[in-house]
Amino acid sequence: MHRTTGRPGTRRTRLRTAAAVCAVALGTLATLGTPANAAPSAAPSASSGTVPATATSVSSDRAARADTPWKLRTPLSETASREFWDVAATGAKDAWAVGRRTDGADGPTPLIRHWNGSAWTDVPAASTDGKAAQLEKVAAAAPDDAWAAGTLADNTSAPVVLQHWDGVKWTKVGHAAPAEGSLSFVGDLAAFGKKAAWLTSFDWDPNGGTQVSRLERWTGSAWQTVSLPAAPGGGEVQPWDITGTGPDDVWVTASAMTGEVSVPLLYHWNGGGWTVREVPAPGEHPTGWVANHAVATGRNSVYVVGKTNDPQSPTATMAARWTGGRWQSLPALPFDEANAAGADGAGRPWIAGWTPGNPHAVLARWTGTEWATEELPAEVTEHSEMSTVLGVAGVPGTRGVLAAGTAGCASDPVQCGVLVSRDLG
């Protein structure tokens, strides 16, 4: 399996290449999930639902899209392929978007853009020693403390790419390489302070189909492996998404894998120890359920969204909120699967995905009683064939939210990076 076309398993859907974006129109999506339940020879999993767009549906939706509260922050560029995979912000004058740029036959190079309150500008990434690479995750704790994580694009047994921003420049940070023959992938990344960054990743052996998952914490000088407590019902614990409100309030979703059956878990770190809870699923499923995303909106408020752990396509979705004392079940997602999740500056949860019949990403906000969907700006939907949102992040000190992704522009195979915002003026 090629590193840039998907990952084994079914946990998280993303568009990562021009081929993957084009596949949306054919009803197949490259996945970047993790569970080790994929067969050794399996191709990247496909998400459910075809998304054919007719001229009639595009025309009928145009007025609604024109009225969307989301605004395009940077023009769609067709001079070179640019893809954004994640976004983070520490305030109204400090935000980051990361991804990759592809221009020519030398492969991708890391793409980093910074918002200073008035404009988005490119910022040089740290050296990758001349090797093709991409950045897939970004997290920021302060204007002088941000992290970016990704992978090399040459399908070698190389460590994940880690870079740190100190307020002046991005610097390469070392990480252990996987076992010979295995490929390393990034799961998630979060930052809560100088000595409180967290990373999930996994090494996958394409020959044997085995997987080694890990959770790590930055101590201020090195990345240290963290062992999670055993799952309540047994099974191999595979950590994935990370959220939280501070160094002593960190939440990690995980799957407890027993064969091909997955049980979704939510771990909590209070600064001194771990607790673990099983996430309630809406029903039985032969392969169980996975928790794709978690969003903390307060110390005792965590939203978890997920889906069935089906190797081909999710057959149902789930959503629940931990209130600090009990689980609250939420309605099913308005998408086949959530590609991104986050909270705005006011603490309102947001998710992004595809709705049937629409080749463009749709965003949805939890109102307290339902998921209210909103379209991307017309500058995106009317000037590209399809799009996806891969990162959602609130802007502290405001009510606003940023979303990052990619769109399939007319000059195939060029990908256009998408940066949009809501309630930021």
DSSP conformation letters of 66-126? HT-S-EE-S----SSEEEEEEEEEEETTEEEEEEEEE-SSS--EEEEEEE-SS-EEE-PPP
Q: Is the pLDDT of residue 17 over 70?
A: no
* Ramachandran angles phi, psi of 56, nearest 5°: -65, -45
C-alpha neighbours within 13 Å on the C-beta side of residue 291: 33
Q: How many CA atoms lie within 13 A of 169 on its CB side?
A: 6
Report which DSSP code applies to 24: H
Task: Give the Cβ contact number of residue 193 at 10 Å.
Answer: 13
Instruction: Retrieve residue 329's tokens.
Output: 């079940």
- Position 41, amino acid: S
Strands ordered across the beta sheet of 81-91: 81-91, 94-102, 109-115, 120-122
- The number of residues making up the chain comes to 425
Residue with tokens 């204007």: 143
Q: Which residues pair with 319 in a beta bridge?
A: 305
Helix (H, G, I), strand (E, B) or coil at 269: strand
Q: What is the value of pTM for the model shown?
A: 0.86
Q: What pLDDT score does 412 carry?
A: 61
Q: What is the pLDDT of residues 190-243, one digit of tens each?
A: 999 998 999 999 999 988 888 999 999 999 999 999 999 999 999 999 999 999
Reported as a pLDDT band with limits 50, 70 and 90, residue 154 is: confident
Supply the pLDDT for residue 419: 97
CA torsion sign for 2, 3, 6, 7 is positive
Pairing label, strands 145-152, 170-173: unpaired
Structure tokens at 195: 């000595």
Once rounded to an integer, what is the mean pLDDT over residues 382-391?
Answer: 95
Residue 144 has pLDDT above 90, yes or no: yes
Residue 418 has pLDDT above 80, yes or no: yes
**Euclidean distance between the first and final Cα of the chain, in Å?**
43
- Cα-only R_g, the chain: 20
Residues 344-381 have pLDDT tens digits of 999 999 999 999 899 999 999 999 999 999 999 999 99
Secondary structure class of 64 (helix, strand, coil): helix
Cα–Cα dist 183/156, whole Å: 7
Residue 62: per-residue pLDDT? 47
Q: Which residue has the higher pLDDT, 314 or 291?
A: 291
**Other residues' Cβ atoms within 10 Å of the Cβ of residue 268:** 17
Of the ranges 19-23, 137-141, 334-338, which one carries the lowest mean pLDDT score? 19-23
pLDDT in tens, 75-129: 987 777 899 999 999 999 999 999 999 887 778 999 999 999 999 999 999 999 9
For residue 379, which phi and psi values (nearest 5 degrees)?
A: -60, -25
The Cα 404–Cα 67 span in angstroms is 20
Cβ neighbours of residue 158 closer than 8 Å, sequence gap 6 or more: 131, 151, 152, 177, 178, 184
Average pLDDT over residues 248-276: 97
Percent of the chain that is helix, strand, coil (3-state, to 5)? 5, 45, 50
The chain-wide mean pLDDT, for the chain, equals: 85
Q: Is the pLDDT of residue 268 over 50?
A: yes
Amino acid at 80: A
Euclidean distance between CA atoms 206 and 229, whole angstroms: 28
Is 50 exceeded by the pLDDT of residue 143? yes
- 90 to each of 114, 138, 190, how far by Cα in Å? 11, 12, 12
Residue range 301-307: mean pLDDT, rounded = 97
215 close to 229: Cβ distance less than 8 angstroms: no
